[in-house]
Structure 1
Amino acid sequence: CCPRRIRRILDKNIKFHRMCAYMIVLMTLIHYFAHSFNVDFFTSAYTSKILVTDSNSVIQRKRLVARLIQIGNAPNETYLNPIRSNVVGTFYHFSVGAVFLLTGGWTGVIITLSLFFMVTSSVEFIRRSYFEVFWFTHHLFIVFYGFLVVHGISMQVRGQTAASLLVHDPKRCSLINPALWPQNNCPTPVFAGSAPMTWKWVIAPMVLYVIERIIRLVRFNQQVEILKVIKHPSRVIEIQMRKKGFNAEVGQYVFIMCPQLSQLEWHPFTLTSAPEEDYCSVHVRIVGDWTTGLSKVLGADESGNEVLPSWKMPKLAIDGPFGTASEDVFNYPVAICVGSGIGVTPFASLLKSVWYKNLNPEHEMVLKKVYFFWICPETHAFEWFGDLLAYLERQLAEIGRQDLIEYHIYLTRGWDHKQAKTIYAHEEDSRDVITGLEQKTNYGRPNWDEIFSKTAQSHPNTHVGVFFCGVAALSAKLHKMSNKHSGSGVSFHYNKENF
């Protein structure tokens, strides 16, 4: 739909969202402290008294303040100070309390509290361990925008009107004793607040949000047929589904909602099925309350229950699919795909689609070579994805395209002394002792500098797409390597899945 550079920028939408959030927090803090000083000045104006030790300039300033806070008490006068009475000795005497006298004050407190809860619940620990807390508190944005619209409705930030400035010069009149204003051609100034403008800025995104919710409601009511649920090792279940009119590309993701668990919660899952298959599938790792509940209603929990037949399956709703960086993989002659732990899921769809496309001799692919790296922290993490790799290994051998996908598996930790002995004893076997694949497992971490250097030498004058899904630390490393080894005709284009 648009050039590659633009698509890569759009793929950073979550990072852009966070940058906007940080700026909103910064501007909110500046706005809050600035108005705290205003409110304190408004309240303390009533306690200002002239002392015998005051200089003439201080006396004039205090007289001016005393006169300005009185303007608005007489008929047909407009006020400047929004706090209209002396609150000394009450709760409202302090700026913290005085804000509740102002519409902009108490709405500002609600807005700031909403923002506080949204930001604090967005930290990675909360998102990963308590997704429901993150999801619900993030919807406080409705409260945030709702009160933001009425935040300035009472027009408390006030100034002298343009017409009043023509007859009352503030520079000249501020030097005159306010009691002598009528004799010195200084009529009582007229003040007014600016009309609320926030609604003009938020109406468009609010309308877009309502439209998006309507579309999601329509998608929710579309029937999703659950074809099969497969229990994999390592607390992973595979759900195969079919939905009329559903079309997806490699690596895309969907939001899934189960009304039996919650009518509000939508959780993102990467599609592991290829576009060429007549169904869509996701692999769900059971790690939290919602995924545990989903496995139970599907009959695929740890209690040993049999998976329910399709006609007994609960209702599921699918929203999507939504695009990711992996869609661009077929636009590069060479691709380096790196999955870390469960981050390998987007590449399940990709690898299967590569095989399907090679079954069609009339389809000429731009993609000629895939280097796939899977980094796992423990041995049992291989179990569910290893079956797919073994299947692809056999299928590519049958069509004589073993060279199309070159995969490398790295086990970074998780083996004990006994397992180390077993690994050493089977070193000469034709298949790997852990995965059962022909490609042997590497132990330790990849030498990315060497890997990128060899790729650049093997594919001169080539655009190489680097695709990654996994932990942030490895993402930064791969991004650095892509920039370091780009040059002399070879360009590495880094793409990261935003999860």
Structure 2
Amino acid sequence: MGCWILNESLSVVLLLSWLGGNFYLFIDTFHWYEEEDAFLYTRVILGSALAWARASAVCLNYNCMLILLPISRNFVSFLRGTITCCGGPWKKQLDKSLKFHKLVAYAIAINATIHIVAHVVNMERYHIGQSKDAGELPNRLSYLGNNPNESYLNPIRKYDTNIITEVLTTTAGVTGLVISVVLILIMTSSIEIIRQASYELFWYLHHTFIIFFIVLVIHGTGQIVRSQTLESLMLHNVTYCKDHLTEWEETIQCPLPQFSGNKPSVYFYWICRAPCAFEWFADLLFLLETQMTEKGKTNFLSYHIFLTGWDENQAAHIALHWDENTDIITGLKQKTFYGRPNWNNEFRQLAYNHPSSNIGVFFCGPKALSKTLQKMCGLYSSADPKGVRFNYNKENF
């Protein structure tokens, strides 16, 4: 027993260090997602399944980083030949590199199982969040994103849908399926009976690790789970507002919460003096409006038409028909504004709706307005490299 302790003490220390790293990452990440205010509204819908999914994901990343090192022959040979500390007991550890590779593989399989189960639960809870029985706050959070200038939290946008179909239409869902299939093929082909019966099958399937790692990188961009942005947290007091839904959008401390990872969107501003200037373009906007509705992308295009010239008769006619579903001048769903835009308000709202984004501003019009917009771009671009940036482009006439 004493000899075994003496011979294997370093192996035990290294094994415990690796296990300790896994447990630390899992517990620390789990606690962070359970306590962080940025994920408070996400937890309202998902509960603890959020923390289980994210903690296992961090451990997956940790072990995927280590999995190739023990079987990298050049790396192991480098350690053997060039580092003086790799003598005696340290050299023996290099002889056990294949065993460590298998241990890391087991850890990947366990954490992948936890991650998959947790996200299956998450998708089901996202789906329930769209039902009327979910509760007032989960319902309100799930409905966010249905109107312009709102960012969504719940990726499932309606209750009457198939969860599997919804999952397989997302980047995270498709890549997650590919990763799972590749991992199953690699793990099953590593079973001793299969490996001995067909070593070529084992060898070829193991080399699908290239697909595994490429898709793993893409998988992380899916953003199924969203957090409240830092800018929104500073304006929207979550500890107060979560219990006072009636004050959302009504009081200063409860503006609508904004969440990271907004889908790309286009804001189109058109300023004209006479209503006749809109006529030739209204049909095209109506066509775009219809196509976006059919594709479920009603918030992709947000256009703002400003009429700067009108007489009293037009004003009376406009006021009389203001409550109709379509605009009296253009026939479009989005109403025409009267007067000139308040560019401070417009840029402030864009910066709030799209934090940590690069926003391209494209202008065609008179030089005086060009200077104003260029000034607004500089004024509302954040000094923080991670903040919002407005990039100005122009074509004068």
Same fold (TM over 0.5): no
When Rg is computed on C-alpha atoms for both structures, the one with the higher figure is: 1
Provide the TM-score with structure 2 as the length reference.
0.42
> Larger % of helix: which?
2
> Larger % of strand: which?
1
